[in-house]
Structures are given as C-alpha cells and as structure tokens.
Amino acid sequence: MFETTTIPAADATDARGRARRKVLTNRDCASKSGKPKAYDAKCDGLYVRRTTTGPNTFSALVRVKGTRQKRPYWLGCFDAETFNVDHARSAYYALMARIDAGENVFATARRDKRVKTKQGRTVDDLAIEYLDYIREPVKKKDGKMRARIESHKIIEGYFRNLVSPRFGRMTASDLTNDDVATLACDMMSGKYNGKPSVSSARHMRTALSGLYRWAREAGRGYVIKTCQPMVDLPSLPAEHPRTRALTPEEIRILWQGLERDDLPWDRMTCLAIKFGLATMLRSWEFLAIHHDELHDLDGKAFIRVPVVRVKKRRIIEQPLNSLALDILREAMKKSNQREFVFFGRFGAEAPLARKGMAEALRGTKKTPGLCALLGLKPFTPHDLRRTAATLLGNAGFGDGIIGRCLDHHTTRDRDGTDVSRVTGVYNQSTYREAKRPVLDALAVRLREIISEPDGAGQLAFAFAA
C-alpha cells in the first residue's frame, strides 16, 4: 500500500517553540501511542485522534460560519483499507470546498443526523405510530366522528400476527421486496404459522403497503423515497370466490335441526342463523340490532341499519317478511328489556358475538358444530346470503333486485341500461318497498321447503350417525 513519507525536520520546534507538524502516515494514524492528537502538515486543521479502546478517528478544525470560533468536524474512523490518511485528506478538501461555497456544514450535519435517526426506526416503531394515526377520530360523511380507518382492529391484527414476528425488529429502511416475497412464500407453503394461506399472505402485503405509503408521505420521511419494498412483488395465486349454497334439502335439515332442544348451542345463536337466512343481511348488520331500530312491526315492518354497521357506510332499510318477524318476536321475548335483540352470553348489555354464529356452525375443540351434528357439508354464515340469493334467482328474480336486497352496488337498471356511479350520489333511496315483494317471496319459498315432510327422517339419521 502506498504510504506518504514523513518530511524530515531540521529542528523539532518552530520559531515560536511549538512542536512542528509532520505529514501523517498510515502508520501514524494506526498507532495507539503518542499524543492524543496528531495534526497533519499538509492540511491545516486536519488531525487524527488516538484512543486506547476504540478506533482512531479523523477530524478537522473548521471555523463556524459567521463567527471566529473553530470547532472540530468529524470525518470518519481510520481504516487502512477503506478510510486511510489519503481518504481523510480528500474528505478534508471536499469539506473546505463546501465551506468556501457558503454552506453551514454543522447545520447540515445536524439535519442529516435527525434524518438518519428518523429513518433508523424499526418496522414495529412505525407500525405503532401508524396504528395511532388510523385510529384517530375524523369527521365522516354522516357528520359523526369515527376512526380514520374503521377496520383498524383488523389491520392491527395483521401487524401483530403476520408482520411483527418476522420484520418487527428490522430497520424500516432496510426492508426489501425480497424479504416480503420470502415471507409470503412461507405463508403460502405453511412454513409460517403452520397453515398454508394465500389470504394471510395477501393481508400481510396489504398491511405493509399501507404502512410504507404512509411513512413516505411528505412531512414524515420515515423512510427514503426509494424504499419501496412492495414494488415488483410476484403475483399471488388467485383466490376463487366461494360457491357454497345450501340445497333445499340442506335448508330443511338445518331449519328443523335448529328446533331441537338437545343442541349444545344456545337458542339465541340458532335464531340468529335463521334470521340471517330470512333477511339476507350480513351477520354484523343484524347481530347488534337495538329495539329502536325496528319499525312498524304491526304493519309494513322493516329494520333500519345505521351506517356504522354497514359495509358501504350507507343506511339500509330492510323489509321484514313474515318469517323474519316470527323469528324476531321469539328473540324479543327472550331479550325482554335488554338493549340488544340478539343478546350474547357475556351480559345483558352485549350483543351476540360476531364469531358466535361461525363457531356454532364450525364447532370448537370441545363442542361439535351444527354442520357435523346435522350431517351437513360445512358452510359459513355468509353462505346463507348466497343461499337466499340462489333461491330468489331460481324463482325468476333478476340480479338487479337481488343485489338491492344484498346491499350490493347496482351498475345496470331494470331494462339493462348502464347506471352511472355518480347517480348514486344523488339517488338516496333505500328501495325499501321495492325489496319487500322479493323478501316476501323468499319467506314463501323457505316455508315451502321447511314444511315438506320428508326431512324429519333424514334429520334423525344425521343425528344417529
């Protein structure tokens, strides 16, 4: 390696008696003996600081802009390969050029340190702040204050269960798309959490995408602009939509089985399953029904579901057919003066848990599910909506009006013409009376199915099995 030679001096001191400066060599800079500071004769103000424990470091004494004061400016740690004395001199000349150009190098260093500290946060650190951000109440279009992202509890679960165990302690700026792709492959192959799941991999990528998009926004700068670990990821396998719909025979077995007294599941859960099939509502839309949300029960009865419980955040006014009213009256007798019609088992002021219906159908480790007890192919509470829609389709009703009953967005009118999405902003109708004959027809069809006499024998056989 090239080493700068020392210029021999005739005298060890100058005219004022001060020690003469010598041209530093790599040997001088690597040495731990001698004076704590050794100045370089080639660069005025450049010196190496020797320490007995850590590495020796290069610094330069430079004048603070606008003052007569001189302060040390750290250049780097000595390393014979990567930052030797020649590298230090080059850094010194570059520093002097910045000062001559009028730059306040100390202010720049402080700013760079703040940015480095901010961008040195871990994924867990950013996730905590991001979750606080999405939980923050903001004014919604209905005028009420709710969380910025109302599904924040679900997103929190994604970070807690999927992201944090693998990436939590990593520096956020160091995460790459290779890391994300590897985790997604592990999830889909079952190497992560033991159960193969394309859905979990998709949710993990969605949670991370929202986090890094928020972290790169102007004014935050928690990660550099080029840090985009969610770019150029491989496509995930397609998740095909469910097609499970109960046949009339399965509906008959289910309905009559829910009337048995020897079921291991409480009566309120059985009534909720029936109500979901008869009304076509989503489970979380009707499980938390308050008594004051029921209207005109002795006439043209309907339920008004507030926006906070609706997927698309719009009011639903769902007509109640005769079958739904029979179920509702039994539930109201049991709930008596309780706040919720379908009350849960954890107190009078709590509704039936959202996962209560799913657990009753699927079962737990200790209690068999209704599907197993009744000999039915497994299905979920959401499959009841598909079952009702299929019954109406077979009865001759069109997709448009069935979509209204399901609270789906309609893109075509009754005559088949396209409907502009902007029209939905002006048309605030809930189509309550338009849906009534459809849901009444559903009740008629369900009564026909459950009253057929040949289901009792098969039901008994299912229990015996």
Summarised one tens digit per residue, pLDDT across range 308-325 is 888 888 899 999 999 999
Question: For 114-128, 177-191, 386-400, which range has the lowest pLDDT when averaged over its residues?
Answer: 114-128
Report the pLDDT value the prediction gives residue 173, as an integer from 0 to 100.
87
Q: Scanning the structure block, which residue is given the tokens 């009337």?
A: 259
DSSP state of 12: S
Distance set, CA 53 to CA 50, 72, 376 (Å): 9, 21, 74
Report the pLDDT value the prediction gives residue 406, as an integer from 0 to 100.
94
CA dihedral 75, 76, 79, 84 (to 10 degrees): -10
User: Looking at the DSSP assignment, which residues form a beta bridge with residue 351?
Assistant: 343
Average pLDDT value for residue range 33-51:
90
- Dist CA 339 CA 152 (whole Å): 26
**Residues 259, 419 contacting (CB under 8 angstroms):** no
- Dist CA 227 CA 365 (whole Å): 44
Q: Is 381 exposed, middle or buried (0-12, 13-18, 19+ CB in 10 A)?
A: buried
Length of the chain, in residues: 465
Q: Which of 45-59, 187-201, 302-316, 376-390 has maximum average pLDDT?
A: 376-390
Edge-first strand listing for the sheet containing 294-295: 294-295, 302-305, 316-319
Average pLDDT value for residue range 29-37:
88
336 has a pLDDT exceeding 80: no
What is the percent of the chain where pLDDT is above 70? 88
- Measure the N-to-C terminal CA separation of the chain; round to a whole number of Å: 86
Report the pLDDT value the prediction gives residue 11, as an integer from 0 to 100.
42
Report the pLDDT value the prediction gives residue 437, as an integer from 0 to 100.
96
Q: Nearest-CA neighbor of 378 among 198, 254, 239?
A: 254
- Dist CA 66 CA 64 (whole Å): 6
Taking residue 428's Cβ as centre, other Cβ atoms within 10 Å add up to 8
Report the pLDDT value the prediction gives residue 353, as an integer from 0 to 100.
86
273 has a pLDDT exceeding 90: yes
Report the pLDDT value the prediction gives residue 453, as an integer from 0 to 100.
61
3 has a pLDDT exceeding 50: no
Average pLDDT value for residue range 175-193:
91
Q: Which comes out higher in pLDDT, residue 120 or 394?
A: 394
Q: Scanning the structure block, which residue is given the tokens 């008594």?
A: 291
Report the pLDDT value the prediction gives residue 201, as an integer from 0 to 100.
93
Assign 8 a pLDDT band (cuts: 50, 70, 90): very low
Q: Scanning the structure block, which residue is given the tokens 């007509």?
A: 319
Taking residue 364's Cβ as centre, other Cβ atoms within 10 Å add up to 10
Q: Scanning the structure block, which residue is given the tokens 């590298």?
A: 87
CA dihedral 133, 136, 141, 144 (to 10 degrees): 170
Q: Which residues contact 368 (CB under 8 A, 6 or more apart)?
A: 264
Average pLDDT value for residue range 356-372:
93
Angle, CA 56 vertex, CA 50 and CA 57 arms, to 5°: 105
Average pLDDT value for residue range 78-106:
90
Average pLDDT value for residue range 398-414:
83
347 has a pLDDT exceeding 70: no
462 has a pLDDT exceeding 60: no
4 has a pLDDT exceeding 70: no
Average pLDDT value for residue range 239-256:
93
Where are the strands (E) in 280-421, listed by range?
294-295, 302-305, 316-319
Average pLDDT value for residue range 216-243:
89
Helix then strand count (H, E) for the chain reads 19, 9
Average pLDDT value for residue range 225-238:
90
Phi, psi of 67 (to 5 degrees): -135, 175
Q: What is the CA radius of gyration of the chain?
A: 36
230 has a pLDDT exceeding 70: yes
Report the pLDDT value the prediction gives residue 108, as an integer from 0 to 100.
83
Average pLDDT value for residue range 210-216:
93
Taking residue 54's Cβ as centre, other Cβ atoms within 10 Å add up to 8
What average pLDDT is seen over the chain?
86
Structure tokens at 233: 């990821």
CA-CA-CA-CA torsion sign (114, 116, 117, 119): positive
SS3 120: coil
- Dist CA 205 CA 222 (whole Å): 19
Domains of the chain, earliest start first = 26-115 (3.30.160.390), 123-215 (no CATH), 248-464 (1.10.443.10)
HSE value, Cβ hemisphere, 13 Å, CA-based, for 348: 7
Average pLDDT value for residue range 383-394:
96
Distance set, CA 380 to CA 30, 252, 336 (Å): 72, 17, 29
- Dist CA 465 CA 462 (whole Å): 5
